[in-house]
A and B are shown apart, each in its own frame.
Chain A
Amino acid sequence: MVLIPVPKPPKSAINPDRPVSKLLRNQMEHLQKAEFRLPVKQQTNTYINAIKTEGEAADYIRQVTQAIHGAHGVEPKGVAPGPVAVTPRRKSRGSDIAAVAEERPTRKRKTARTSKAKAKKKTRTKRTG
């Protein structure tokens, strides 16, 4: 039996501040359609056009996915650990957005970008799906 070594990507490969791709943009739009069918209290009230980075997109996607599962009373086992953890955990913005959703049941535009994300905004062209 042969053991094939599998190189790991460098820590520098990860970039949650990478501009959100067309694929993720579409995923968010699809999820938003889904969350609008949830009870108002379970909606995130996130203005997704303000989401500019992969990290921000992931926060939104996580909240809506959790909300959909919660609305159906089913939670998949396990939510996070994967094979690659290459940098220390960053402060999540998800709880902040969720808190806003809980306090404000009516829909309101919300900017999801952080000042840090703005500062790191890059000029790279957006990716497509």
Chain B
Amino acid sequence: MSKGLDNLKHIVVLMMENRSFDHMLGALKVQDPRIDGISPDLSNPDSTGASVKAQPLAEFQGQLDPDPDHHFPGVDLQIFGGDSSAGRVPNMQGFVKSYFSQRHDVNHSQKIMYYFTPDKVPVLTTLATEFAVFNRWFSSIPGPTICNRAFAHYGTSFGKVGMDLFYINEPFKSIYDRLILANPKRTSKLYYYDQASSTQEIVNLLQHQPELFGTYQQFLSDCKKGQLPDYSFVEPNYSDHDGDNGAEIASDQHPDHHVQAGELFIATIYNAIKDNPDLWKSTVLLVVYDEHGGIYDHVVPPACAKDGFVASANDTGTGRAFEFDRLGIRVPAILISPWIPKGTVVSGRTFEHASIPATVTKHFLGDYDQRSPREKAADTFLDLITLDTMRTDCPDFGV
């Protein structure tokens, strides 16, 4: 065990909204070819059959309106290019077609291929190049927010592929339940931004265990006082709304929310941890996105272990059932710690959101059998903390 891992006391996960890997980090391939990002030959056909190349023209706001489709049938089109045959092969050729179907505007549909240059997203790209960036972190389901976030909390979505509610008394406990029921008891908290933004994890946890929740302000305070729990899950602000100190801007980066507000939020979470020296040396921060939001990525989601659940053809909306045997589209994921070598690029391994409870469980609880098949099969990531000497060259963000 490295000294860095030996020092680890806190795991913090910040989950953002709806951006693909290529969209946010793909341009980094130019400066580091190990990063599996955008290459000049990547394209999609538009509705006229013309080839549309990925281009570095992404804007902070106003470009992805309407919100690109990322529900199960739409993502199926994006992955398989509209092929519904029995022997179809995923080719990532349906993104422009999918977006065209929403506005029927050929020029506008091409914007789904746009990506950011590193200078436009300095926080995310700096973190990616300074710490560990994952080449293969996929959303758990080729579908929308709720089912994907469920994998981060429970290691499964209990057979759901949409935005449905799901209920307690399911066979697998949330990572928070596992921790607080452990002997010795562990601590965990879900920090939502404020009560007007609240949480996307409502029914199971907010309704039954509101004591698990804190606010962004409390997160800052807990960091400052060194009172962070063993495991923290941080949610951004999901809406533009009134706050006690003025209008609050959404920081989730969900289209069409402003990307720079999310950059600022990520930076403040990082700074809050780094500004407390004791916390900085004993904490690992994972920044990850819940799903791709319908935006182009070139990496085919791989097949995966079945989850023991089946979503019916009616539930998927594609005319075929889904056995949770394929991951969703790739998303940005960055692991941050002063014990991780600068410029780490994680290749040759596959991660998904079930990797989160798998990692937290492994580190804090050890063997734990009552978990979903997907979580049991998920790779864990704390082995990336390899240094025996803490880095002193980590960046600071001026916010």
Known contacts A4-B396, A6-B399, A74-B210; is-contact A13 B197 (Cβ 8 Å): no
B251 at the interface (CB under 8 A from A): yes
A50 to B65 alpha-carbon distance, docked (Å)? 22
Contact with B along A50-78 (1 / 0, CB 8 A): 00001101110110111011001010111
Contact with A along B55-70 (1 / 0, CB 8 A): 0000011000111011
Contact A7 B198 (CB under 8 A): no
Q: Which of B214, B217, B247 contacts A87 (CB 8 A)?
A: B247
A85 at the interface (CB under 8 A from B): yes
Contact B249 A125 (CB under 8 A): no
List B contacts of A88 (CB < 8 A).
246-247
Contact B217 A9 (CB under 8 A): no
- Scoring A24, A64, A78, A92 by chain B CB atoms within 10 A of each residue's CB, the highest score goes to A78
Q: Which of A31, A55, A79, A127 contacts B241 (CB 8 A)?
A: A55
List B contacts of A15 (CB < 8 A).
240
Contact A84 B251 (CB under 8 A): yes
B200 to chain A, nearest CB (A): 6
List B contacts of A82 (CB < 8 A).
193-194, 216-217, 237, 243, 245, 248, 251
Q: Which of B102, B123, B241, B393 contacts A4 (CB 8 A)?
A: B123
- Residue of A whose beta carbon sits closest to that of B65: A124
Total A residues in contact with B, Cβ cutoff 8 Å: 63
B244 at the interface (CB under 8 A from A): yes
A126 to chain B, nearest CB (A): 7
A120 at the interface (CB under 8 A from B): no
A8 to chain B, nearest CB (A): 6
Contact with A along B378-399 (1 / 0, CB 8 A): 0000000000000011111111
B203 at the interface (CB under 8 A from A): yes
Q: Which of B144, B242, B246 contacts A58 (CB 8 A)?
A: B242
List A contacts of B214 (CB < 8 A).
76-78
Q: Which of B194, B247, B258 contacts A89 (CB 8 A)?
A: B247
A81 at the interface (CB under 8 A from B): yes
Which residues A1-57 have CB closer than 8 A to chain B? 1-9, 13-16, 18, 21-24, 26-27, 29-31, 33-34, 37, 54-55, 57
Q: Which of B69, B196, B215, B267 contacts A61 (CB 8 A)?
A: B196
List A contacts of B268 (CB < 8 A).
83
B18 to chain A, nearest CB (A): 8
- Residue of A whose beta carbon sits closest to that of B149: A129
List B contacts of A127 (CB < 8 A).
65-67, 254-256
Known contacts A61-B195, A76-B215, A79-B215; is-contact A129 B144 (Cβ 8 Å): yes
A64 to B207 alpha-carbon distance, docked (Å)? 10
Contact B217 A78 (CB under 8 A): yes
The 7 closest A-B pairs by CB, nearest first: A78-B217, A127-B67, A58-B241, A125-B66, A80-B244, A85-B246, A62-B196
CB pairs A–B below 8 angstroms (25 shown): A2-B396, A4-B397, A5-B397, A8-B260, A9-B258, A14-B249, A22-B67, A23-B145, A34-B203, A34-B207, A55-B239, A58-B241, A59-B242, A62-B196, A68-B210, A69-B195, A72-B211, A74-B211, A76-B218, A80-B196, A80-B215, A89-B246, A91-B242, A124-B65, A128-B144
B residues in contact (CB < 8 Å) with A: 17, 60-61, 65-67, 69-71, 102-103, 122-123, 126, 144-146, 163, 165, 193-200, 202-203, 206-207, 210-211, 213-218, 221, 237-251, 254-256, 258, 260-261, 263-265, 267-268, 392-399
